[in-house]
Amino acid sequence: MLERRSHYATPPGSLHFHGHARLSAYDMIRTVHRAKYVLADPDLVLQNAAVHVSSPGRISRIEPWQGAPASPDINVVDWGSAVIMPGLVNAHAHLELTCLQGRLVRFSSFCDWLSQLILQRRQWKREDYIESARRGCEMAVNSGTTLIGDISASGVSWEALRSTRLRKVVFEEALSFLPERAGEILASLEDRLNKREPDALLCPGISPHAPYSVSAQLFRPLCALARRTSLPLAIHAAETQEELEFLDSGTGEFREFLTTLGVLPDAYQPPRMKPIPYLENLGILESPVLLIHCNYLDPESMAIILRSRSSVVYCPRSHAFFGHAEHPVRKLLDLGINVALGTDSLASNDSLSLLDEMRFLYRVRKDLKSCEIFRMATLNGAAALGFGASAGRLRCGYWADMTVIELTGETGPKNLTAQIVEGNGKWYATIVQGETAASRG
């Protein structure tokens, strides 16, 4: 148990937990956030409670509210009758595509949608990507997101998101299906990573786009680079039936799509495997990977994911936008696979709100419990992005990343998690490292 001494000593009734970051006795309390309810975990609610934040921005303790601290140096933020809960985690987004909202709604197939997306992007300049990414970041923060996994194909997201009050993992995307371009693409990505400037709230990652857009000759060195530099990997996988067909037989819509783009090698031979076994065969899944979508999985693929300790990101509204078959999320959770939630981009969604995502999922998947959906949007997402021991729940030593929800009507503490997931309450504020990043007030 963590012990606090001097006038920072822990009073009776406060919460401490084993096995997390130890706070120094010299980490002075900087801010206290008080609310009618503190929802530390889906099944742990404190009434009229306060979250004490230390000078580095970590949670020092959570305890019943005992009045304002005597020290004038401690800032007290009173959120009234609201709920303080763990910050929402969007495990998959493309913030640089934010300005495409509502522009790609008529398409005949997934490849047709991709073709339209490519045409739109070819018209953009660097400044357009920066503006789009910043607008997406603002939308995310202004809906309760405290941590996001962002994919950047343009290479400008690091610049666009640097110094914004949002914790983020920016995955630099690489793609080329032409083996002869592997060295060039790898060198370009390494150059982008080497030029990044330090940012306490921004971590880099690497994203080989997908099995249908990255050659084996590029996949392997990208994976090796990630392991050598201890950077996380994110891969779109098993997203469509057409992807499965292409990898199995080399035929279908994706063959036509890649041929039209002029990026299908003349000597291409399909691996004759499903996406997940193919990634395993390449050696990509020898360590955990962030697997995005995974809409079409067979038992063998799910077993591979489980063995690799990889996480899956499910994007419910984007999934519905493309009319996919029912997602295997229930089977994945039952197997013990970590499943997080993502919004994907606004090119296939109508908001970047995790509250909207949770509530949509609750309406369409009655086989999921409210507490499971809540964890998918908080702790599971944090774990998927590499923050499982420091974000996603309210615990001593964790980052003070919190979402504040303003409840509607007379609300009691019973089934508070279910009330929020099922639709009670509106976003009120977003707190990152103990500081208010955005609020409605």
CA angle 178, 252, 298 (to 5 degrees): 95
- Burial degree of 87 (CB within 10 A; 0-12, 13-18, 19+): buried
Residue 196: DSSP 8-state: P
CA distance 45 to 111: 46
CATH number attached to the domain at 6-86+393-439: 2.30.40.10
Closest C-alpha to 38, from 409, 438, 396: 396
Provide the 3-class DSSP secondary structure of residue 297. coil
CA distance 185 to 214: 10
Helix or strand run (H / E) with residue 169:
strand 167-174
CATH top-level class for 88-234+260-384? alpha beta
CA distance 353 to 196: 28
Closest C-alpha to 100, from 342, 341, 344: 344
Query: What distance lies between CA 223 and its chain's CA centroid?
Result: 20
Burial 303-321 (b: 16+ CB within 10 A, else e): ebbeebebbbbbbbbbbeb
Q: Measure Cα distances from 354 to 87, 88, 132, 411 in Å.
A: 10, 7, 19, 22
Helix or strand run (H / E) with residue 314:
strand 311-314
pLDDT digits (tens, 9 = 90+) for 222-259: 999 999 999 999 999 999 999 999 999 999 999 999 99
Provide the 3-class DSSP secondary structure of residue 221. helix
pLDDT of residue 264: 95
Strands (E), 23-115: 29-41, 44-54, 59-64, 75-78, 83-86, 88-93
Q: Enter the tokens of residue 397.
A: 């030593």
Residue 91 identity: A
CA distance 213 to 302: 22
Provide the 3-class DSSP secondary structure of residue 62. strand
Q: Enter the tokens of residue 306.
A: 């489980």
CA distance 357 to 368: 14
pLDDT of residue 441: 72
Q: Measure Cα distances from 379 to 136, 197, 209, 281 in Å.
A: 22, 28, 25, 30
Q: Where are the domains of the chain?
A: 6-86+393-439, 88-234+260-384
Q: Enter the tokens of residue 76.
A: 């007290």
Provide the 3-class DSSP secondary structure of residue 75. strand
CA distance 127 to 135: 12
| Integer-rounded Cα radius of gyration of the chain | 22
pLDDT digits (tens, 9 = 90+) for 135-150: 999 999 999 999 999 9
Cα torsion 78, 15, 42, 95: sign: positive
CA distance 303 to 285: 12
| Location of structure tokens 């990634």 | 279
Helix locations, 123-162, DSSP H:
126-141, 157-161
- Give every residue of the chain whose pLDDT is below 70, as ranges: 1-27
